[in-house]
Structure 1
């Protein structure tokens, strides 16, 4: 088997979250369109992924989540059949409940998160997937009161929960991978190092996102190399540079990220070094070519895949 066959390429559905792609004028209008014309909405997404040339799908938040997919097509089996008919596979499912949970340290909140994750894992497994990517809790804006220090004690709390959640999912045949979301407690090099130290590598894995690591001012090549054995899936995305240290971290933080993302190969990611790292560490898994809310997702994904095949895969081989 050629070495390049160890890399399978997919896309996260957040890539399709741009009003222009849907012919509407706002993000709310996308949601309204998805609710009023669900079959048309999902068929367009899956047809577009097929046309782009990648074969993997990573589900994410509503209206791109697993519940919406089942509601649209009627069952897990029917959704799986729609993927298969287009030569697509479920690469992974993004789980955002921890990021949005508020005080996840409360027993009731943890129980609710675990229950939702178990249902999601059953769906992922039924679609022949085996990876759940999870977003970590967000940091607060520097200087915000009362101050919450992300110190060793606080890191142990989240690590304990991730260990237990990872063990529960493991029994269902699904692996938990923490996503390096900028401005979360798992993106800057120090934070990643700390949480990787405190979690059990048998149950907690890593989904590095090259662009989000750069937004935090860290080097994705150096950071991932330190923890390469924990990486089971990766988001390939480019960024123009670090965001200001005093960036407000509020409900709009994901929108604040978007101006810093750029087309594949146009930013600060050293892609030849990245592909050499994956080659040398013998990475085998999904590479998610993610673009947040792309105006032309089909063209952007296809162009990114062309660059990968022409410039990077020869290095990998």
Structure 2
């Protein structure tokens, strides 16, 4: 008979997922007490949190439990590095129906552990609860290691806009899965399991990034956050963007716009930042520029090739 969460029980599940967890040097007290204790030598703690809800962010027929775990960890760890910080630890909240197989929860946990281990991040606690559908909540913590945080509000006229990581792959994978297909496999896997360029966040901070953002909602949408926070205009040069062959194949098969995948597709968790021209790190691609607002193009605006982009610019919850 299949073991379920109902038969395993809350404390049995907690014991299973915390057994053998590695503990980094920043962690003073890990799982097993009322709360964890993490050292903060820098005196500042970078914190972010995200939710994954079944049916909204993932489907069991599209993604394995392991994929969901990797994705849940990745989207939080990417936010930490986008501040120029080093991820140190995270806590996990998990809600699920009592009849969910225990094996699914353990596979999810392994995905969380494996993604965290890429950055030597410790899982230091969390909570479990019965719910009508699967919900995964991750809160991640990071250290600035003495550096100033890289905010969205620091872009300056004259800066160049540069990006590192994949753009549009996860959105192309979503388009494929929506139509009941499983290929090209590369984009489907990108939707299931992002590959953020983790090392590039702290590297960009050291290089002198004036602003930075994790591309989770779409390039134009996330650049809009920078433009609004910095009160500048950002122009993206479409010819500087790479539209990979798998994206072109999906666009041709579905009637979509391949460039649209790159401009508006989220969940690849690339990093986009602004830099003085001499500070752009090797490996980053310059895709645009920062300018002052004016009567025709007010501050807070993002344009493509000097003109407004009329399609939806990216994902936003609660948008009608």
TM exceeds 0.5? no
Give the TM-score, by structure 2 length: 0.22
Larger gyration radius, structure 1 or structure 2: 2
More helix by share: 1
Give the TM-score, by structure 1 length: 0.22
More strand by share: 2
